[in-house]
Amino acid sequence: MIPATPQGRRDFIVANTRLQRPPHVPEIALHLADEVTPIWKLTEEALEEIGLPPPFWAFAWAGGQALARYLIDNPGVVAGMRVIDFAAGSGLVGIAARLAGAAEVLCADIDAYCEAAVALNAEVNGVACGYTGEDLLEAGAPGWAEVILAGDICYEKPLAAKVLAWLAAARGAGATVLIGDPGRSYFPRTGLAKLAEYQVPTTRELEDMAVKKTAVWALP
């Protein structure tokens, strides 16, 4: 079984990933899984058997890569701002925000392994990111957040509806909301403003094509 302690999760990530640079955001290094790392070969059944949630933190998803690219190329969006990276996974987007000059970044994810992944990846990139495992969909967005970033959050219908409603409430309270999405099935086709579009290299092990057309959107 995998140790259920912060150090145990940290050790597991180091042992089962390798440092890589996402192809669309080579400025950032992350502990990621690929075909030469042990975790890549684990089936869903094997993950369940050893007590590991699906390791979304082990991959640089297309929506996150696009959003990170946009922030690095347009630092004024977050420079000096207090930012939440929602459903942070590896922390890629939050790290990009810090590199772009954000004053404060809180990475939020309910998977406890993400806390270790974010800490490891932030250290590698020489930045500091806070972390919360609280379910913000239930607690609401912290009132101090000036920018909320969300990548790849529309892959399941009930979750997508809930997240989008939460983001809309945050936007209504005054936060800037940016979403990175590669055309997931449950992403809304109307009511958002497209800010940028990218061709993001990925892998057929994760996606249905080797390059995903991915956009960054803003809630108006």
List strand residue ranges (DSSP E) for the chain, in order: 18-20, 30-32, 82-86, 104-108, 130-132, 147-151, 176-181, 193-201, 211-218
Model confidence, pTM: 0.92
> Distance between alpha carbon 50 and the CA centroid of its chain, in Å?
24
Angle at 25 between CA 24 and CA 27, to 5 degrees: 145
In this structure, what is the dihedral angle of CA atoms 66, 56, 30, 142, given to the nearest 10 degrees?
70
pLDDT (tens digit, 9 = 90+) per residue, 189-215?
A: 788 999 999 999 877 666 666 777 899
The answer to whether the CB of 66 falls within 8 A of the CB of 182 is yes
Of residues 185 and 30, more confidence is placed in 30
The answer to whether the CB of 3 falls within 8 A of the CB of 12 is yes
Just give the CATH number of 61-218. 3.40.50.150
Residue 209 has a pLDDT of 66
pLDDT, the chain, mean:
90
Q: What is the mean pLDDT of residues 144-158?
A: 91
State the pLDDT confidence band at 169, using cuts at 50, 70 and 90.
very high
Where residue 180 falls (left for φ over 0; alpha for ψ -120 to 50; beta otherwise) is beta
pLDDT (tens digit, 9 = 90+) per residue, 73-85?
A: 999 999 999 999 9
Of residues 88 and 48, more confidence is placed in 88
Q: Give me the percent of the chain exceeding a pLDDT of 70.
A: 94
> What is the spatial distance between Cα 6 and Cα 38, in angstroms, rounded to a whole number?
20
